[in-house]
Structure 1
Amino acid sequence: MNATTHAEVLELEPVTRQASPLATTHSTALAPNSPAAMMMAAFAQGISPEEIGKMMDVQDRWERKEAEKAYNVAFAAFKAEAVRIVKGRKVTDGPLRGRDYAELHDVVDAVTPALSRHGLSASWKLTKDEKDWIEVTCSLKHVNGHSESVSMGGPPDTGGAKNILQARASTKSYLERYTLKAICGVAEGGDDTDGESPPAAVPLHLLSAARDAAMGGWASLSKHIKALSPEDREALEPESYSLKKAAKDADKKGAAQ
């Protein structure tokens, strides 16, 4: 390289390079309604951490109450659909030979579409898995976050020619079927009716009002039931267990707060 060329190279303007997209920094802005953003805003107004904690506890309780209300409305609407489960399997041996029964998939196929229409979904967990005892818990959850659950347990089903794994799988399937039926409050056609037709569905307006009263506790539910006509009380009878349970649960939650 000669001197002239070298000088020309030295006199070139420096090249300005564009910053690589990978080098850009991520925004650390907080969502306006996030707990962190609300806490920072409260701090800026001079509110103490203790007061902020109390405010957030109140907000949390309110949100949980609203989620429970939404669950109750959705469940009442689900029950109003009067889901029927078809017995798709016939017993081929044993003392119950010739009887029909519903398998797990029959129950799932029957309740899932109606649950989904009202923002509800069911799932299971194996909450106890011991050599001689299996427990399954079925949870029913609403899209707003509230959920309720029921558990049932039993020993491995060693009847017939089942091996160890088949015995445990049989019990697990049985428990999933019955916990799903219990949490949804549904029955197979003919269950425990001695051949009679299953009871009619509770009218939605009656069930929804009773569930709202049950959320206020046992005293609230009792007052509501007493104010009903004899005909309406009789119509609510198929849901008496779930209403009493909801009222007792509401009293327990109130005592814990």
Structure 2
Amino acid sequence: MSAEPLPNENIKPLTVRRPRAVAPAAAPTSPMDIVRAALATGDVELYREAVVLAKEMDALAARKAFDVAMADAKAEIPVIKKNRRVGFDHKSGGDRTEYSHEDMAEIARTVDPILSRYGLSYRFRVSSEINAPVRVTCVVSHRDGHFEETTLTGGRDDSGKKNAIQQVGSTITYLQRYTLKAALGLAASADDDGRASEQPAEEATYTPPPGSISADQVAFIRDELEAKGASETAFLGWAKQKRIEDIPATHFGACVNALAKFRKA
């Protein structure tokens, strides 16, 4: 029986080295990361799809930033004060129309610093073709690139003793105020020489049916009728409604166009 060999002290035990785990590549986290990753593959079609996706992601982010900025700005914008009293004699003579409103300078003075603080701005596009209604578009933009437009049209303001240029200018100014107010969802303080306090309680608390025009649109129609000295009753007869507040929102554009045809009652 042979003896077991003695262990050799010079032989070291074999060490098994496990391969080091390789961390997975980080997934693209931004639109440009996606484009770069697609470009690195050398696949032209994949690159084109990545560019389209990146643009959609940028647009979505810009829209979200716009909505947040608008909400924050709206929370700080106060009610606009009516700072102007306007009056004019009708061409037919005798009667006179007077009403209060907030001018563009008052609106700008109130909203511009707040909008700027949240990266918002506004501008106007105007169209006034021959024998066509005046068209004004208010464009509200955010610094991240998203913008939204609000458009109104109206007939030339031939109230008072305005010449042709003054009629167009008056309508442009009027529509600039209302498109900006509509775009920002602004409200103007009431200044009706105490007439509101004389209204019955149910008038002050009246709730229009769902789908009706907004309070700003109601004010627009009333101010337009008052500026022209036109009859609200006649207008409601045309609109086939008991109240201006009941007019469906889908009919507002037709109402604005129809207002140009209404004259002093």
Pairwise same-fold verdict (TM > 0.5): yes
Pick from 65, 78, 82: which aligns with 1:83? 78
Aligned residues of 2:31 and 2:53 also touching (Cα < 8 A): no
- What is the aligned partner in structure 2 of residue 125 from structure 1? 125
1:138-217 aligned within 5 A: 138-190=138-190, 195=196
Q: Give the 3 Å change call, closer, same or farther, for CA 39–99 of structure 1 in structure 2.
A: closer
Residue 52 of structure 1 and its aligned partner are, at CA, apart by: 0.5
Q: SS of the counterpart of 2:87?
A: coil
User: Alpha carbons of 1:39 and 1:111: their partners in 2 closer, same or farther (altered >3 Å)?
Assistant: closer
Q: Does 1:71 align with 2:66?
A: yes
- Decide whether the 8 Å contact of 1:138 with 1:149 is kept in 2: yes
Partners of 1:50 and 1:191 lie apart in 2 by 62
- Name the SS of the counterpart of 1:136 in structure 2: strand
Equivalent position SS for 1:84? coil
Give CA-to-partner distance per residue, 1:195-226, whole Å, 9 cap, x none: 48x9xxxxxxxxxxxxxxxxxxxxxxxxxxxx
CA distances 1:93-140 after superposition (whole Å, capped 9, x unpaired): 357755321112111221111111111001100145343311000011
Greater mean deviation of Cα atoms: 171-180 or 101-110: 101-110
Structure 2 residue aligned with 1:51: 46
Output the amino acid matched with 2:111: V
Give SS of 1:171's match.
Answer: helix
Please name the residue that 1:99 is paired with: 99
Deviation digits for residues 55-114 of structure 1 (CA, Å, limit 9, x no counterpart): 011111011000011111101101111422111111233577553211121112211111
2:56 to 57, 61, 66: 61
Measure the CA separation in 1 of the matches of 2:76 and 2:133.
36
Q: Would the aligned equivalents of 2:77 and 2:111 in 1 still touch at CA under 8 Å?
A: no
Q: Which runs of 5+ in 1 are unaligned?
A: 1-32, 199-240, 242-257
CA contact (8 A) 1:140 1:148 kept: yes
Partner of 1:123: helix, strand, or coil? strand
Structure 1 pair 84–66 and aligned structure 2 pair: CA distance change class (3 A): same
Q: Is the 8 A contact 1:132 1:156 kept in 2?
A: no
State the AA in 1 paired with 2:142: H
Alpha-carbon RMSD across the aligned residues, in angstroms, is 3.2
Q: Is the 8 A contact 2:66 2:146 kept in 1?
A: yes
* Identity between Structure 1 and Structure 2 (%): 31
**Equivalent pairs, count:** 165
CA distance in 1, matches of 2:177, 2:68: 24
- Residue correspondence of structure 1 range 28-43 to structure 2 within 5 A: 42-43=38-39
Q: 1:129 to 1:107 in 2, by over 3 A?
A: farther
Name the CA distance, whole Å, in 2 between partners of 1:39 and 1:58.
9
- Aligned to 1:99, the other structure's residue is in SS state strand
SS in 1 for 2:88: coil
TM-score, normalised relative to structure 1: 0.56
Hey, what does 2:13 align to over in structure 1? none
Partner SS state of residue 156, structure 1: coil
Structure 2: distance between partners of 1:191 and 1:65? 41
Classify 1:142/1:73 alpha carbon distance in 2 versus 1 (closer, same or farther; 3 Å). Answer: same
> Which secondary structure state, in structure 1, belongs to the residue aligned with residue 160 of structure 2?
coil
Give structure 1 regions of 4+ aligned residues with deviation exceeding 6 angstroms: 38-41
Letter in 1 for 2:68: V
